[in-house]
Structure 1
């Protein structure tokens, strides 16, 4: 039965969802590197994030296969195949990871490794490898773009705004995200969202917040220098505003502002737009780093309104070391509280298109709060978490 055998698919999925799932995923990579030792050089020193992401994607794919849904898995695998060209991935690499996955399944399942399960496992690995290889071979564009850092602004203790000029323009939709590699952490990539629409001259801007344990984000905020050369992948994601789809609620936590800001700036090209209400939140007032830009956009576009939100009313002492972010009069009065609570206190926003961008926890909390107030889940957009 292969991919139609839901029981066999559930057995395969269970091998990676138990208490030892991290160790099992680690054994897949150990097997892969034994089959193809050179592949290890394509990864950074710390592979924790790669293993975790691999496990999440595999779990999601098997869940979709169990539900007999194929369109989204095939679309994701094709996207990954195109995107993984930036790592130097080849057909051989996909074939060896397929062998490693198959062998690890066989070893882990033991007596559960029956004929039907083996057949299903073979179909799963063949589908994964085949779609990714085919998509990579069919992609005619470059595997990556390179650019030079031309401006660096440390706007808060752990937030930086970085502007680059790319060697050739990158085509993307406002609201999408790209994968970025910086010279300070070679072979490690981090997803960032451009904070402005695509520019025909190759200019691009990113907003980055350093996070605990985040090698790439910390390196960008603390170590970036003018003249650094960055490598950027093709764009992914689907955050967007339907200009004929009614009014819009946007919720941005910290540097999650970037993709929503790009969408707003793109909307400024049009004479008429749906009303857009943006809530922009941070821990302290001083971390609302781009309020002046938002004030300028709102002053020139009557369809845009902005409500600043901070968890605390006053700034910490270290705020004096960074630029004053307070805008001129004109924005809504800053609200105090947690962003999900403040936004949902205004109601369910059930008549709005809703876009949320920020940390995984903020997205989940905001989405849950809005749905509890009556917002339609199908009208809520956010990037994969």
Structure 2
């Protein structure tokens, strides 16, 4: 019965739902894969914990979708994954060895729960996974990656930097999308960043990066990046968008979560008529509202745009004096003090709006929950996948 055999799928699900068993399964899978093809080890960082957890989560989601007899989203997800994996140099042989390794790991982990029916289900699932990924990778007309040179690096706050890159050739992407990025300070450690500007025909692209506590890559980008550094970018992902025919818009940006929303706003300035857009831009301190001068310029020229700054604390810390003052001229809404989700929800549920939320996962979830509790339509709320 293969993927139609729900009992066999539940057997697989049992191994993935249990955190300890799933962790052991992922360790066994990667150990088997590296044994079967030692060249694969060079594609990964020495610390595999993050990679193992991410793959385990993806596999668990796929099995859940198979159980629900849903195919469209899994196939689309696998196709995107295949296109993206080209940046690692993945080949057809890698997919073959990976399927072998995962088959062996699952059979060992499931032990006496393995049966001919489970064998058929696993075989069909792995065939689908490898086929969808390799097929999409082979059919993609875009290059596997994009190389660029850092031309601008500005520390706009203690933990925040704005980085400009000149790509060797323009990247086709939609405002609101994100890419995964590899920096020279930490090769093979890819991190997601959102473009802060619309696509440029000359190949310029800008990112806003905040150093995450304990984050090796984000910390290096903020503190160690310099003009001349060479970055590698994946093809774009994500689908944040504004439908200009679907009513007014609420945008909520926490810190550097501003980047994709800023790109969308800049894109909207190309049109003569737009829906009203109200942007709440939040940070811990007033000095961390780093892009207020640019937002003020955009709002002063576009009457459909309103910007409300929000800071958790009223006063700046002592270190603020070491960085540019982001206070814009008078003209924006008065800065409010408080937590961003509470301030935004204090205006009501915004039930008549398209809603886009960007920032740290905790802020996104808290804002979404607060808005829904006040009457917002969950179906009209957009945000990117919640990945730190």
Same-fold call, TM cutoff 0.5: yes
How far does residue 102 in structure 1 lie from its aligned partner after superposition? 1.1
| 1:1-53 deviation per Cα after TM superposition (whole angstroms, max 9, x unaligned) | 11111221121122122131223212211111111111000112222221121
What does residue 173 of structure 1 align with? 174
Q: What is the alpha-carbon distance in structure 2 between the residues aligned to residue 116 and residue 145 of structure 1?
A: 44
| 1:36-92 deviation per Cα after TM superposition (whole angstroms, max 9, x unaligned) | 111000112222221121111111111111111110110010011111101000111
Instruction: Specify every segment of 5 or more residues in structure 1 that has no aligned partner in the other structure, as ranges.
Output: none
What does residue 19 of structure 1 align with? 19
Trace 1:293-304 onto structure 2 (pairs within 5 A).
Answer: 293-304=294-305
Q: Secondary structure at the residue paired with 1:16?
A: helix
1:290 equivalent to 2:296? Answer no
Trace 1:86-125 onto structure 2 (pairs within 5 A).
Answer: 86-125=87-126
Q: What is the alpha-carbon distance in structure 1 between the residues aligned to residue 23 and residue 334 of structure 2?
A: 46
How far does residue 361 in structure 1 lie from its aligned partner after superposition? 1.0
Q: CA RMSD in A?
A: 0.9
Q: What is the alpha-carbon distance in structure 2 between the residues aligned to residue 49 and residue 259 of structure 1?
A: 25
What does residue 7 of structure 2 align with? 7
Q: Secondary structure at the residue paired with 1:15?
A: helix
| 1:94-134 deviation per Cα after TM superposition (whole angstroms, max 9, x unaligned) | 11111111111111111211221111111111110111011
What does residue 211 of structure 1 align with? 212
Q: Is the 8 A contact 2:249 2:275 kept in 1?
A: yes
What does residue 265 of structure 1 align with? 266
Q: What is the alpha-carbon distance in structure 2 between the residues aligned to residue 254 and residue 229 of structure 1?
A: 25
Q: What is the alpha-carbon distance in structure 1 between the residues aligned to residue 240 and residue 212 of structure 2?
A: 23
Q: What is the alpha-carbon distance in structure 1 between the residues aligned to residue 49 and residue 17 of structure 2?
A: 17
Count, aligned residues: 385
Q: Is the 8 A contact 2:166 2:204 kept in 1?
A: yes
Q: Is the 8 A contact 1:16 1:25 kept in 2?
A: no
Q: What is the alpha-carbon distance in structure 2 between the residues aligned to residue 103 and residue 206 of structure 1?
A: 42
What does residue 198 of structure 1 align with? 199
Q: What is the alpha-carbon distance in structure 2 between the residues aligned to residue 259 and residue 109 of structure 1?
A: 43
Q: Secondary structure at the residue paired with 2:307?
A: strand
Q: What is the alpha-carbon distance in structure 2 between the residues aligned to residue 343 and residue 114 of structure 1?
A: 54
Trace 1:298-313 onto structure 2 (pairs within 5 A).
Answer: 298-313=299-314
1:328 equivalent to 2:329? Answer yes
What TM-score, normalized by structure 1, do the two folds share?
A: 0.98
What does residue 50 of structure 2 align with? 49
How far does residue 196 in structure 1 lie from its aligned partner after superposition? 0.2
What does residue 363 of structure 1 align with? 364
Q: What is the alpha-carbon distance in structure 2 between the residues aligned to residue 379 and residue 280 of structure 1?
A: 20
Instruction: Specify every segment of 5 or more residues in structure 2 that has no aligned partner in the other structure, as ranges.
Output: none
Moved runs in structure 1, 4+ residues, more than 3 A?
none
What does residue 157 of structure 1 align with? 158
What TM-score, normalized by structure 2, do the two folds share?
A: 0.98
What does residue 381 of structure 1 align with? 382
Q: Secondary structure at the residue paired with 1:347?
A: coil
Q: Secondary structure at the residue paired with 1:191?
A: strand
1:228 equivalent to 2:229? Answer yes
